[in-house]
Structure 1
Amino acid sequence: MTNNNLEDYSIKAIKRRQYDDLPAHWVNDWLLHVIHQPASFLITDSDYCLSDEELALFEDGIKKMQAAIPLAYLTGKQAFWSLEFKVNEHTLIPRPDTEILVEQVLTWIEANVSVADTRSPNQNSLSNILNDSTPAQPFQLLDLGTGSGCIAVSLAHELGLQSKDWQVTAVDYTKGALDIAKQNAILNDTPNVTFIQSDWFSALPNDIKYQVIVSNPPYIDPVDPHLNNLSAEPLSALIADDKGLADIQRIVSGARDYLVQGGLLAIEHGYDQGDAVQQIFIDAGFANVQTVKDYGGNDRVTMGQSVSII
């Protein structure tokens, strides 16, 4: 292919085109990825003309996105929290709503788990109850179904900035997902994350209990029509039986055996599952159960503690 009219292949000409049903930021981000330039380049160098190779790659990506392949799978990366994560067909694409889970866990830890308090003579303090080990040993956080590792790595990054008193364990059933998660731990300089291939709790060591367990499990009903818009992502990470609640039920029922007294369980779920998930927590004996809304005002994360704290 030869550029007979170079102006047709300029950035400003491309930006004038209409791309059916594609978000404008997808088109812009894909263009920047193809030409290997920062966002400012679209403004400062709008007369830049793509080469034949760049144009072919750009148009091929447009066709793939119009065929429901997400931008992140084309670029191989997705921003989440304050970090960047590699993604591929083995992992879900991290979404802004999941940042609510990270945010809530960090807020709870800040309010309830203080390294200084573990050295306090007040043995009734919440931090002393939560520290089910000697002060010299790290606190433990478990991420079930880690996928790309975005939750585990983001939490490890933030907790590592605060202190060296946390060890994060990330679990996934799929080796392909774990391989990507391990790369993301290295990419984001979080050595305080270990990885275990496991079907939820099945391969975890029996001698470790966790101050915090988090999970973004499959929670979509297999007959939910929204799945049509998620066809490129791994279905095993999306759908669950019992109207999307089967894996949540399994996690909640198993978590009490792995949490220290007063430890936190926090789970992401669907926008219409808040009441049902709260009841699952309550039926399993969790206390202080609450559901937190996402940025769109929808129920998104339910949290509870393994016992009441007095």
Structure 2
Amino acid sequence: MPEAMSMDMGAPPTVQQALLHAQAMGLARIDAQLLLLHVTGREKAGRAWLLTHDQDLLDAAQASAYAALCARRLDAEPVAYLIGHKEFYGLELAVDARVLDPRPDTETLVDWALELMPADGAACRVADLGTGSGAIALALQSQRPAACVWAVDASAGALAVAQANAQRLALPVRFAQGSWLEPLAGQPAFGLIVSNPPYIREDDPHLAALVHEPLSALASGTDGLADIRAIIAQAPARLAAGGWLLLEHGWDQAEAVAALLHAAGFGQVQHRHDLAGVARCTGGQWSGQACTGPA
């Protein structure tokens, strides 16, 4: 039996052997490294630690825990759930199975939103719909401290995760539970509404690989656009004149979302591309002047 398989033989493996074994089982190298850093309590040291300590021995408890985490990862459970956190826009967010694993592509939406928010300390009102872990809302609040940022989710579990993140990061995001903009009906108008809603078709075969994440945050009707339609329908009543609605969507949905925005009366409809060059976000402006008044 190869040396890299020593975790299965009861002998304490070295850091190098544990990583080789995980990769031999089919784990991506980065996943194997992140899980091992977690098990050894060396996450803050970074992956360089694995290189400089490649001959260190794991103890029995570490080897057992690592093998269990590797098995769960091979069953498509997100690394973020396994280690309990994920970095997003420079923030360390606690995540678990109550919320989606934040994707780097969503930082495209944050970048665009920040372009539209005043950077000079002026206040603005922003709503993040379907906040999940709070990733978007917290990123915006961290970059624009003067903003009044609301985070909405229909899931009480998701809001609990987001609120805990906000408290730990000391960011004053406000929270509301309900369907899209409905719980904000009594609030003053918003200058910016952003959302990364569910946008996968309910019969999409890719959902099988996402079985560990909440289905309600992934699938949206027969064409994947049911929730985007609902948000676009509700947004005009909650946007200030000149306010913007920005939506993340699937790789092939940009034109369909643009058509929905045009049909609802939005102008300046445009797209933003992710790092892979895919049109990942589409947004439009409601008529009139932008809302930059006090929160």
The two structures share one fold, judged by TM-score above 0.5: yes
Q: CA deviation at 1:2?
A: 11
- The corresponding residue for 1:109 is 117
SS in 2 for 1:241: coil
Q: CA deviation at 1:69?
A: 1.1
Q: CA deviation at 1:5?
A: 4.1
Q: Give yes or no for contact 1:77–1:87 (8 Å, CA) kept in 2.
A: yes
Summarize deviations over 1:5-28 as a string: whole Å, max 9, x none.
Answer: 44xx11122223234332111100
- The corresponding residue for 1:22 is 27
Matches of residues 274-293 of structure 1 in structure 2 within 5 Å?
A: 274-293=254-273
Summarize deviations over 1:94-115 as a string: whole Å, max 9, x none.
Answer: 00000000001111224xx756
TM-score (norm 1): 0.86
Summarize deviations over 1:186-240 as a string: whole Å, max 9, x none.
Answer: 222212x111111112222424110110000000001111111111100000000
Matches of residues 73-222 of structure 1 in structure 2 within 5 Å?
A: 73-110=81-118, 138-160=123-145, 164=146, 166-191=147-172, 193-222=173-202
- The corresponding residue for 1:31 is 36
SS in 2 for 1:291: strand
Q: CA deviation at 1:3?
A: 8.3
- Equivalent of residue 273 in structure 1, options 225, 228, 253: 253
SS in 2 for 1:203: helix
SS in 2 for 1:102: helix
* Percentage of matched positions with identical amino acids: 38
Distance 1:278 1:177, change over 3 A: same
How well do the aligned residues superpose, as a CA RMSD in angstroms? Answer: 1.9
- Equivalent of residue 54 in structure 2, options 31, 41, 46: 46
Aligned residue pair count: 280
Q: CA deviation at 1:79?
A: 0.8
SS in 2 for 1:141: strand
SS in 1 for 2:219: coil
- The corresponding residue for 1:235 is 215
Gaps in structure 1 of 5+ consecutive residues: 117-137
In 1, the alpha carbon distance for the partners of 2:209 and 2:8 equals 36
Distance 1:307 1:4, change over 3 A: closer
In 2, the alpha carbon distance for the partners of 1:214 and 1:30 equals 32
In 2, the alpha carbon distance for the partners of 1:211 and 1:4 equals 60
In 1, the alpha carbon distance for the partners of 2:195 and 2:225 equals 13
